[in-house]
Amino acid sequence: MTNKILSEQDKTSDRVMLLQGDEAVVEGGLVAGASFFAGYPITPASEIAEGFAQKLPAQGGKFIQMEDEIASMGCVIGASLAGEKAITATSGPGFSLKQENLGLGIMVEAPCVVVNVQRVGPSTGLPTSPSQGDVMQARWGTHGDHPIIALSPSTVKETIELTIKSFNMAEKYRIPVILLLDEIVGHMREKVRVPAPAEVELITRKRPAAEDRDNFYPYLETADHIPPMPDYGEGFRYHSTGLFHDKTGFPRGKTEDAKKLMDRLMAKIEENLQDIIIIEDELQGDEEIIVLSYGSTARSAISAVRQARELGIKAGWVKLKTVWPFAESYVAEISNKVEKIIVPELNRGQLIGEVKKAAAGNAEVSGINKYDGTIIPPDEILTRIKEVSK
C-alpha cells in the first residue's frame, strides 16, 4: 500500500558500490521492491535493519523496530497481508524465536523474506563467528510438515542476486523465503554492481479481480496451486488462520481438509523445483571428485578445486544457491557419474545427510566440518581432494 516514489532515474540507473553482504541485502531488497522491514537488533544481522531504517522511508517504505524477534515476524506477515513486500533479518537465537510465526506465515501463505545471518550456536554461541549451523533449522525449524524455500549466497554479489530472487519467489509462490547468509558473507566487503530495478525481472503476487469479491475463495485450489491474494482493505473480507482450513479459509475440523491443504502447500514448491532450485557448477565431464558446497564455504571449495585441476586431479565443484528444496535429483544424477563427493560445511554435518540420501551409495560422500567459528580454508579441502583421489 506504500506509495513508491522511485524516480525514473532510480529505476533505470545501476550503481557500483562497495558493500558488505548485510548491506547488499538492503540494496538487493530495494531493487526487488522491498517496502517494509520489521526487525530486532542482533549480531551479525543488525546492519540489515540499520540499512533499511535509513533507506526505506525515502522510497515511501516503512521500517519498524519491534520489541522482540517474535513480534518482528508477526509484523512482517501482517504487513505482507496488507500488501507490502516485507522482510525481516536476524541471526540464530532470533531465528529460533521466529519459528512459530514462520509456520503461521506458511499456513496463511504470506509472501515475505526472512534473512538469517548465521552465527555459531546453539544458544548465544559465538555471536561474531561464522556458521552454517542453521541449515536444518531453516528446513525444519517450525513444527510440523511444511514447504520452505531457503537460498544461500556465497558472495556479496550473490547476496544481491539471491535477495531479489527471495522476494520474487516469495511473491510468486506465496511463501516465506529464508535467505541464509553466514557471518563471513554478511560482513565481508566487495565491490559490486547493484542493478537498476528496470533491468531485473520483478514478480509481484497474483491478485484477484475486483469483480471476484462476491464469490471469493481466498484459498482456492488453482491449477498452479497458488491462490490469488488481495490486500486487506480491498473489500474481500476474507479469513486466514493457522488452523487447517478449506478453500474458504475457515477450519471445518475435517481430516481430509488437512491432507488437501498440506498437499497443495507442498505442491506449490514440489511442482516448481526447476524454477526454484538454482545450482552453479564447474564441471568438465570427466570428474571423479566433486566438492559440493553452499554459502561462504563455496569460496574455499572453488579455489581448492581449481588448484586440484592444476595438479591434474579430475575434480569439479557444485555450488547450491538454493539449499531448500534440496537439489535431490541433481545430486542423484551426479552421484552416478563421480566416485567421491566432498561436502564441506561450517557445522557438524547437516546438508551432507541430504547428499548421502540422494547419492544412495552410488558415490562415496564425506564431510569436512568446522564448528568452532573458524572457516574451512582452501588448503584443507585440497588436502582432502588429494587424499580421496589416491
Partner 1 sequence: MVEDIDRYLREDKLPHIWCPGCGHGTVMASILRGFARSGIDQDKTVVISGIGCSGRASGYLDFDTLHVTHGRAITFATGVKMANPDLTVIVITGDGDGAAIGGNHLIHACRRNIDLKVILFNNNIYGMTAGQFSPMTPTGATATTAPYGNIDQNFNLCELAKSAGATFVARGAAQQPRQLIRIFKKGFAHQGLTFVEAITQCPVNYGRRNNLGGARDMLNWQKEHIINHRKYQDLPPEEKEDKLPAGILYQVEKEEYTEKYQQIITAAQESDDQ
Binding residues for partner 1, per CB under 8 A?
1-2, 5, 36, 38, 57-58, 60, 62, 64, 66-68, 70-84, 86, 100-101, 104, 108, 231-243, 250
> Which one, 100 or 212, has the nearer CB to partner 1?
100
Could you tell me which of 92, 132, 115 has the C-alpha nearest to residue 375?
A: 132
Cell numbers at 273, concatenated: 523445483
The answer to whether the beta carbons of residues 28 and 48 sit under 8 Å apart is: no
Looking at residue 269, its amino acid is I
* Shortest Å, Cβ 16 to partner 1: 20
> Which one, 75 or 301, has the nearer CB to partner 1?
75
* Shortest Å, Cβ 123 to partner 1: 21
Neighbouring residues of 37: CB distance < 8 A, sequence distance ≥ 6:
29, 48, 49, 52, 53, 56, 61, 62, 63, 64, 76, 86, 87, 88, 89
* Shortest Å, Cβ 231 to partner 1: 7
Sheet arrangement for strand 289-293? 279-282, 315-320, 289-293, 340-345, 364-369
> What gap in Å lies between CA 346 and CA 297, rounded to an integer?
7
> Which one, 17 or 104, has the nearer CB to partner 1?
104
> Which one, 69 or 287, has the nearer CB to partner 1?
69
> What gap in Å lies between CA 263 and CA 325, rounded to an integer?
15
* Shortest Å, Cβ 236 to partner 1: 7
> Which one, 242 or 349, has the nearer CB to partner 1?
242
* Shortest Å, Cβ 87 to partner 1: 12
